[in-house]
Amino acid sequence: MTTTALPARRGWHRPVRRRDVALVMTSAALIWVALLAAAAWHVREHWQSVVALRDQTVTLRLPTGMPARAEVHTPLFLRLDTQSKVAVPIDQLVSVQLLNKLSAQAVINTTVPVDTSVSFDQDIPVSTEVEMKIPVVSWLPAMNVMVPVTFKVPVHLTVPIKVQLPLALNVRVTGQVSDPIKVPVRTTMHLSVPVHTKLQADVLNRADFNLVGLQAPFDLRIDQAEVRTPLRDIEWCRSITCVGSEEAAHVQQGQ
């Protein structure tokens, strides 16, 4: 009788060995522990605890040798009465309105062109003597006679004139400026300004020292405050009772 070997199963239907299951579970547990450790480390290093205090009474005692500093603020009132000299620079344009008349002596040397015409319309009287020969008798020669003559000659003339006339004048000019003029002012004015004022100053006295001897405890009341403590500065409890009664009393006395 011949037996035929069955082919090996593959995929999801193949048999799983216990060793493989244990290896997968161990790897998953290690990864889970690593994630928890990383999360715990991140919380411890970057997070902080916040404790809100309201209407708390605290008794404090300062330790011996503790460095301290004392500051005393003293108000100081003064009155300042003085004359202060101030240099004021001025660089601007100033509008100036001139109300008075301005007088000046002006010398004018120029050439005046003349282009015109002159008309002449008049009767000119003429008085003269005219020599005439008058025959008296036909057989006698003619006689020379001087005859006075008076008459008027009408004259009508238009004479064009086009010349360049040199002109030299020394005259006095008087006028008034109607619009304001812009005058640039660039100077420095030295002024004496009276100063009368009240001053207030704070005088700060500061002293650094160290506490010597046992200090008496004093009460301190906290109305509202927030205490922020990084988790990395907090000691983790390893048992149910982290701090005993003696240690708690010691901590309270130290506070």
SS3 assignment for 106-172? EEEEEEEEEEEEEEEEEEEEEEEEEEEEECCCCCCCCEEEEEEEEEEEEEEEEEEEEEEEEEEEEEE
- CA 133 to mean position of chain CA atoms: 117
What is residue 14's predicted lDDT score, i.e. its pLDDT? 63
Round to whole Å and give the CA distance between 119 and 129.
31
pLDDT band at 27 (very low <50, low <70, confident <90, very high): very high
Q: Are residues 167 and 105 in the same domain?
A: yes
- Domain boundaries, position 207: 69-95+182-215
Round to whole Å and give the CA distance between 168 and 156.
35
pLDDT band at 220 (very low <50, low <70, confident <90, very high): confident
Q: Are residues 108 and 163 in the same domain?
A: yes
Confirm whether 130 is domain-assigned.
yes
Confirm whether 8 is domain-assigned.
no
Q: Are residues 75 and 197 in the same domain?
A: yes
Average the pLDDT over 45-73 and give the result: 82
Q: Are residues 109 and 169 in the same domain?
A: yes
Round to whole Å and give the CA distance between 138 and 73.
160
More confident residue, 26 or 112: 26
| pLDDT tens column, 148-181 | 888 787 888 888 888 888 888 787 878 777 788 8
Q: Are residues 146 and 188 in the same domain?
A: no
Average the pLDDT over 61-87 and give the result: 81
What is residue 251's predicted lDDT score, i.e. its pLDDT? 43
Min mean pLDDT across 12-21, 107-116, 158-167, 217-226 is at 12-21
Q: Are residues 159 and 105 in the same domain?
A: yes
Q: How many domains does the chain have?
A: 3
What is residue 168's predicted lDDT score, i.e. its pLDDT? 83
Confirm whether 12 is domain-assigned.
no
Confirm whether 1 is domain-assigned.
no
Whether residue 39 is predicted with pLDDT greater than 80 in this model: the reply is yes
Q: Are residues 105 and 171 in the same domain?
A: yes
Q: Are residues 90 and 189 in the same domain?
A: yes
Q: Are residues 194 and 84 in the same domain?
A: yes
